[in-house]
Amino acid sequence: MPTSASPVVAAFTRLNATQPLRPFVAYAQPTRLSFIQARRAASSAALYSRLAGPSPAHPPRAVSGAQGKAAVSLAARGLSASALTRAAAAPREAPAAAKDSVVPAGAADATSSVGSGERLLQPDASLALDQQSMGKLLTVWMVYQACGSTKLVQMAPKILKLFEKLRLSWLSNAVVRRTFFAWFCAGEKEREIVHTMRRLKESGIGSILDFSAEADLPEDATAASDLAEAARAHANVKADAFAKEYFHGMHMASQVPHAFAALKVTGLADPEVLYRLSMPHQPLRDAFLAADHDNDGRVDYTQFKDAVLPAMPGGARVASPSGMFSMIDANGDGQVDWVDIQMALGMDNPLARPLYLSDGGAYGALESDFEDYERMVARARAVVQQAAEKGVRVMIDAEHTYFQPMIDHVALVMQREFNAGASSQTLVYNTYQMYRTDALQRMTDDYERGVREGWRFAAKMVRGAYMELERERAASLGYASPINPTLEATHALYDRGAAQLLDRIAAAQREGAVPPALFVATHNNESIERVLQQLQTLQIDTSAEPVMFGQLLGMQDATSYALAKANIPIYKYVPYGTLDEVMPYLIRRAQENSAVAGAIRMEAAQVMAEIRRRMLGGRTRQAHSVASSATSSL
């Protein structure tokens, strides 16, 4: 264990100055319970057979109120009339009021093809290519050509390993640095990173700064093997280093107005801890769905006791199932839904933690995992607090499905703490991967939780970046793939999710309330076109950025610059880091581009058209005539 505190430790210590000393004291933070959770916990002291105390009393009933409405005057702006024409779309029906409806009335048509009338989105590659030198254009064209070779992309990891084995990494690194890294990443040093952000800002494009180093499970990970104290200390030192880099990222992002910074929760704790704490989530969810015999989204006490509770690793430890149920059933109607269970049995409720403890097998958490959980949340809290002080918004990235329950949990805790109140500025966004079969339901549940707990829901919607890995893992371990079976299913889920949230944004604006927020992160121009048409049809005011768009740096620039020209909030995801740190990100970008050959050929054609125009000295631009209408899976 280190003897001297790092700057990050010191920052955490200042935030937690009232805490008594104990191991890893810098990350010891008392759990902050929501209003409802605090009421629930107040009189539920003896739920477990291992805990002494009086018999559990029925907790006072806390009524689930709607989210507080703030009368915020939003200046009417909408879409730029000079750049976009009004869509000839029929008005959408009013959204359904039922909270358990996954897709509101009127959203079902969101998956149909965009009408044949005049399109609002007119991608123009010349807007982006004008800024590039001839040398950069040639480099970019070669990058796109390489991405278009499926075999080359598939072999890339093996080729890089071969160069490493032959001690020729210096050569492969030099090639990658001058090609893929130069186009898809902002750089390694602060000066070049901030320069990239400012260059984008000059074109009306914001930035989402992302430290692109990634963490994952080791190949020999075992779910319940206890970590030696030295190994735990090393894991926490490594998490310190990630947190320190996130602090630096907030500093860099703050140098350009209205920027975001991305946060990867896997960098803030040992991945094995995240894995063990996430393991009980899916069995619990499956047990709840199985117990809900009438499919009304709720279970009673008997169903909870007989089917739901036993699905938890520590379910057998509960001495008073009725007391546990009463803690969950805050309004006392004898039934609980999935959101009730999430709110009451989350990791931030100390009374629920014994449910997660391993029963001695390979399923469940270790006692030490709860300490690491507290440190992880404290790190996240300190980073988000730093962002708030510097005026930087935070996007919490989605990652592998086997980490996602805890990532979602940390995101919800941060949203509850930093998105509350009547401010029209939302600080923390969570990310939803719509290639997952459960994505829309999770998004709906989290929105409902925000309503009940009184904070502003904010979602970044992506299609997903780990499809092949997720499918391979599911096949090797023998569980159902969490990924949609077809690309069309993912497109449909993405468009329905966007339509659902747009309806809620429009309804909130009509009522003078602070709306939820939606970040449409996609390279799919059909999805973007639908959202633009819905913004027009629903008359959503975008001046306070309740709806934004985003693409990756170096990809779909024709669309990004067209949106910026139309005065639509548009951001680029701006990765940075050393070449070694971002190599997994670069390989994934190449693989994703390779998977959508039509789109990458279109990008290459745009670049070549600009190269030819310059070589021939022509005055009429050709690049913009190659419209970027291809659909990708990103």
Would you list the DSSP string of 319-354?
A: S-HHHHHHHH-TT-SSEEEHHHHHHHSSTT-GGGGG
Number of other residues whose CB lies within 10 A of the CB of residue 120: 24
**Beta strand pairing status for 260-263 and 335-337?**
unpaired
- Return the pLDDT at 632: 41
Domains of the chain: 31-61+280-356 (1.10.238.10)
Predicted confidence (pLDDT) at residue 372 exceeds the cutoff of 90: yes
Average the pLDDT over 374-388 and give the result.
97
- Residue 160 — pLDDT band, cuts 50, 70, 90? confident
360 versus 375: the higher-pLDDT residue is 375
Whole-number Cα distances in Å, 102 to 67, 109, 284, 482: 19, 14, 20, 18
Structure-block tokens of residue 233: 């200390």
Percent of the chain topping pLDDT 70: 74
Torsion of CA 524, 528, 531, 532, to 10 degrees: -160
Which residue matches tokens 């059933």? 329
Predicted confidence (pLDDT) at residue 11 exceeds the cutoff of 70: no
CA angle 466, 520, 585 (to 5 degrees): 30
Cβ partners under 8 Å of residue 201, min gap 6: 207, 256, 257
Cβ partners under 8 Å of residue 373, min gap 6: 269, 273, 277, 347
Give residue-wise pLDDT tens across range 486-502: 989 999 999 999 999 99
Contacts 24+ apart (CB under 8 A), 483-486: 483/435, 483/436, 483/437, 484/435, 484/436, 484/437
Average the pLDDT over 547-555 and give the result.
94
Give residue-wise pLDDT tens across range 114-157: 655 678 888 878 878 887 889 889 988 988 888 877 788 778 88
Cα 483 from Cα 237, distance rounded (Å): 34
- Return the pLDDT at 39: 46
Give residue-wise pLDDT tens across range 92-102: 333 333 333 33
Whole-number Cα distances in Å, 321 to 291, 326, 358, 375, 560: 16, 9, 19, 30, 54
Taking the alpha carbons at both ends of the chain, their separation in whole angstroms is 42
Structure-block tokens of residue 57: 């009393």
Torsion of CA 130, 132, 135, 137, to 10 degrees: -70
For the chain, how many residues are written?
634
- Residue 85 — pLDDT band, cuts 50, 70, 90? very low
**48-57, 242-251, 261-270: segment of lowest average pLDDT:** 48-57
- Return the pLDDT at 595: 59
Cα 120 from Cα 114, distance rounded (Å): 11
- Return the pLDDT at 337: 98
CA angle 438, 441, 447 (to 5 degrees): 135
Number of other residues whose CB lies within 10 A of the CB of residue 113: 8
Structure-block tokens of residue 595: 């998977």
Structure-block tokens of residue 188: 């390694």
**Max avg pLDDT among 1-5, 82-86, 321-325:** 321-325
182 SS3 class: helix
Assess contact for 519 and 63: CB atoms under 8 A: no
Percent helix, strand, coil in the chain, to 5, is 50, 10, 40
Q: Bridge-partner residues for 260, per DSSP?
A: 208, 393
Helix (H) or strand (E) segment spanning residue 394: strand 393-396
Assess contact for 517 and 429: CB atoms under 8 A: yes
Structure-block tokens of residue 415: 């949203």
- Residue 214 — pLDDT band, cuts 50, 70, 90? low
Assess contact for 280 and 43: CB atoms under 8 A: no
Predicted confidence (pLDDT) at residue 629 exceeds the cutoff of 60: no
Which residue matches tokens 């958490």? 365
Predicted confidence (pLDDT) at residue 335 exceeds the cutoff of 80: yes
- Return the pLDDT at 426: 85
Assess contact for 274 and 406: CB atoms under 8 A: yes
Structure-block tokens of residue 291: 């117990």
Whole-number Cα distances in Å, 539 to 91, 294, 298, 532, 542: 10, 38, 35, 10, 9
Predicted confidence (pLDDT) at residue 625 exceeds the cutoff of 70: no
Average the pLDDT over 250-263 and give the result.
97
Assess contact for 545 and 520: CB atoms under 8 A: no
392 SS3 class: coil
Whole-number Cα distances in Å, 291 to 296, 338, 360, 534: 11, 11, 26, 38
In our burial notation (b when 16+ CB lie closer than 10 A, e otherwise), range 132-156 reads beeeebebbbbbbebbbeeeebeeb
Whole-number Cα distances in Å, 34 to 73, 344, 449, 462, 627: 28, 10, 11, 29, 49
* pTM attached to this predicted model: 0.79
Give residue-wise pLDDT tens across range 552-608: 998 889 999 999 999 999 999 999 998 888 888 788 777 666 555 567 788 888 899
In the chain, the largest separation of any two C-alpha atoms, in whole Å, equals: 87
Q: Bridge-partner residues for 549, per DSSP?
A: 520, 570
Give residue-wise pLDDT tens across range 169-193: 889 889 888 988 888 899 999 999 9
Q: Bridge-partner residues for 357, per DSSP?
A: 365
**335-339, 427-431, 525-529, 552-556: segment of lowest average pLDDT:** 552-556
- Return the pLDDT at 108: 34
Predicted confidence (pLDDT) at residue 216 exceeds the cutoff of 50: yes
- Return the pLDDT at 597: 57
- Return the pLDDT at 49: 52
- Return the pLDDT at 480: 87
Give residue-wise pLDDT tens across range 287-331: 999 999 999 999 999 999 999 999 999 999 899 999 999 999 999
